[in-house]
Amino acid sequence: MDLSNRQLYNASVATWRRQEPILLSDFTARPRVIEVLGDVSGLHLWDLGCGEGLVGRQLASCNPARIDGFDLSEEMVHAAREQAAALASDQGGPLYYSVADLTDPAQLPSGACDAAVAVFLFNYLDIQATEQVLRWVRQALRPGGSFIFTVPHPSLAFLRPAEAPFYIEPGNHTYLGSTDHLLEGRIWRRDGISNAIRSRHKTLEDYNRVLRRTGWTRMPLIEELGVTEDHLNLDPFFFAPLRGTPLHLLFQVQA
Ligand SMILES: C[S@@+](CC[C@H](N)C(=O)[O-])C[C@H]1O[C@@H](n2cnc3c(N)ncnc32)[C@H](O)[C@@H]1O
């Protein structure tokens, strides 16, 4: 079945919805995004491709002025709103969620922000849409503000077999020369449930080129994230198959 990204995420909201870290990348990627973002107190943040809002809820306890989340999937936005409403009011600043297809220039929100995150959004966007979003964030971000985004490591598909707890299938594609091709994968939660994910393949060089084209001229921070000793101590059965494998790329760029 050929599902659009909107259909895919509307259909899988139940297994994305979570009260606490449970998905592999809740351990191997999201905590590092929050760490690199640093002190957000008093800041207006954007969460692009926010899904059901876990990252925003985690940031809400750090006293931001406001967090605006945007996502293509109405079901994900509904889940994010419901869970934000259930947060005790003393847990942080207000969370606002809107449905928006960030590949459509007419749906890119207006206004400015102090910092922005896009946690596994760009792996759903082709180069052209990635360029459009990067240019838009560059214009919206206040001087000195950070934009932090993560994607599955583009090498992962070519390094791992199709096995738990995380894989992306390369099909007939190769690392070089397959830009914008859609690769399908799965990522697991610690309770054995897995979610389908997608990666619109882009090499590290593709990201570097598109950042330069869109005016992010300061040297980016680029990190290759994987499992750490802490992960292995926490749950060796779950994390050990990924020991030594690059799982995600994290970029921090600054206006
Ligand atoms: C892997 S999920 C990550 C969700 C969230 N950032 C998190 O960390 O849990 C990817 C999200 O990107 C959203 N997405 C995909 N394409 C999009 C688009 N064109 N515009 C806005 N959101 C999009 C999906 O609906 C989905 O919620």
The atom of ligand 1 lying closest to the CA of 55 is 8
Mean pLDDT score, 140-157: 98
The atom of ligand 1 lying closest to the CA of 76 is 27
- Ligand 1 centre to CA of 120 (Å) is 7
**What local confidence, expressed as pLDDT, does residue 3 receive?**
80
Mutate to test the pocket of ligand 1, among 6, 28, 72 (most ligand atoms within 8 A of CB): 72
- 90-125, pLDDT tens digit by residue? 565 699 999 999 999 999 989 999 999 999 999 999
Mutate to test the pocket of ligand 1, among 3, 5, 248 (most ligand atoms within 8 A of CB): 5
- 35-53, pLDDT tens digit by residue? 999 999 999 999 999 999 9
Q: C-alpha distances in angstroms, 220 versus 33, 87, 186, 208, 216?
A: 14, 34, 28, 9, 8
- Ligand 1 centre to CA of 171 (Å) is 23
Q: C-alpha distances in angstroms, 91 versus 4, 60, 95, 184, 248?
A: 35, 6, 11, 37, 29
Q: Is the CB of 51 under 6 A from ligand 1?
A: yes
Q: Is the CB of 141 under 6 A from ligand 1?
A: no
**What local confidence, expressed as pLDDT, does residue 87 receive?**
84
Which domains, and CATH codes, for the chain? 5-153+203-232+242-254 (3.40.50.150)
Sign of the C-alpha dihedral computed for residues 17, 20, 22 and 28 taken in this order: positive
CA distance 191 to 189: 5
Token pair 């995420």 is found at: 9
**What local confidence, expressed as pLDDT, does residue 91 receive?**
61
Please say if the pLDDT value at position 225 is more than 80: yes
The atom of ligand 1 lying closest to the CA of 25 is 8
**What local confidence, expressed as pLDDT, does residue 2 receive?**
64
pLDDT, averaged across the chain: 96
pLDDT band for 224, please (50, 70, 90 cuts).
very high
- Ligand 1 centre to CA of 233 (Å) is 30
**What local confidence, expressed as pLDDT, does residue 89 receive?**
63
- List the beta bridge partners of residue 152: 248
